[in-house]
Amino acid sequence: MLNKVTVLGAGVWGSVIARHMHNLGMQVSVWEYSKDLLDTIKANSGAHPNIPNFKFDNTYILTNDLKTAVEGADLLVFVFSSKAVRSVCQQLKTILNGKAVPVLNATKGLEDKTFKTMSEIIEEELPFLKNKVVAFSGPSFALEVAKGIPTKITLAGYDEDLLKELQNKLTKKPLCFELSKDRRGAEYGGAIKNVVAIGCGILDGIGEGANTKAALLTEAMQEMSKIMLSQGCTLYTVYSLCGLGDAILTGMSAISRNRRLGEKLGQGLDLEEAKKQVGTIAEGLNSVQSVQDIINKNNLNCPVINAIWEIVVQGKPANTLLKALGFKDE
């Protein structure tokens, strides 16, 4: 039975997930490592600074003490920066002390050099959670979910009973879920689509139109399939909610952080200034190098994603992406 859930991360997505769990009748604790964010929420009587008309009431437990947050939890939800997953797990190892609490992982990204997904890192650091980690991925802007807009998400994992239990427990308007056994594919799709979204934004920054972006998305999906198949993912997942579906959403929408970051780069800003103007974390930045390293290691022909890497990492001009798509300078 899922009676108490702990959401690790009080960012926009973490807070929206926490409210969904609360609306299901669960007792909800929210842990946030940023004391500044937590203090801001508390100072504003539970109102979240980045979510319009959103408020934590006094039935939520809000804390930056990890042990307090996790105590008695039946489910942990990971919704924080991919760069912090390994270190947080190392702290949880002592706190959980071998207790096999299922994890719903909504953190997207791949680890540098190892190419491991976030769920794989969680299970490596917390081996007693083997097969108890479920990926939560798909086309889902948190601010739309907060408004009650119907949203379908993939739950991917290896324990069929756990997947069905989560699907039954968590399905309530505005969320519904499809199940998948390809957890690795779900997470690779969630990471690579963020890189593709940066590319879409670069085109927006240059001032190109829908025709050009359609070409980019089509070719990028072909490249995504090469990368994911090289890593043991299924072709079905490439064109599922957490592959194609998520790429369409993040690449085409004005509110996508990754697309906005790319747009700033396309306008000629350097990476540091682009990051400053976007403000919140664009997880695609944490995946660009890992995805490019996989391409290089497996000798894959992925000119579009390679061009995005050159622009983001090497600072090459935005029209590098147009050239990768086959367009010539006048």
Catalytic residue IDs? 193
- 254-285 residues labelled b (16+ CB within 10 A) or e (exposed): eebbbbbbbbbbbbebeeeebbeebeebbbbb
Taking CA atoms, 127 is separated from 114, 284, 300, in Å, by: 17, 28, 33
Beta-bridge mates of residue 31: 8, 63
Q: Which residues, 6+ apart, have CB-to-CB distance to 97 below 8 Å?
A: none
Nearest by Cα to 181 from 241, 135, 243, 238: 135
Task: Copy the structure tokens of residue 83.
Answer: 């760069």
Query: In Å, how far from its chain's centre is CA 207?
Result: 27
CA dihedral 122, 124, 126, 131 (to 10 degrees): 70
CB distance 174 to 286 below 8 Å: no
Inter-helix orientation angle 118-125/183-206, to 10°: 140
Cα separation of 278 and 22, whole Å?
30
CB distance 178 to 237 below 8 Å: no
Count the neighbouring beta carbons within 10 Å of the beta carbon of residue 97.
8
Amino acid in the structure at residue 269: L
Task: Find where tokens 């043991």 sit.
Answer: 232
Class of residue 160 by CB neighbours under 10 A (exposed 0-12, middle 13-18, buried 19+): exposed
Task: Find where tokens 């108890």 sit.
Answer: 132
- The full length of the chain comes to 330
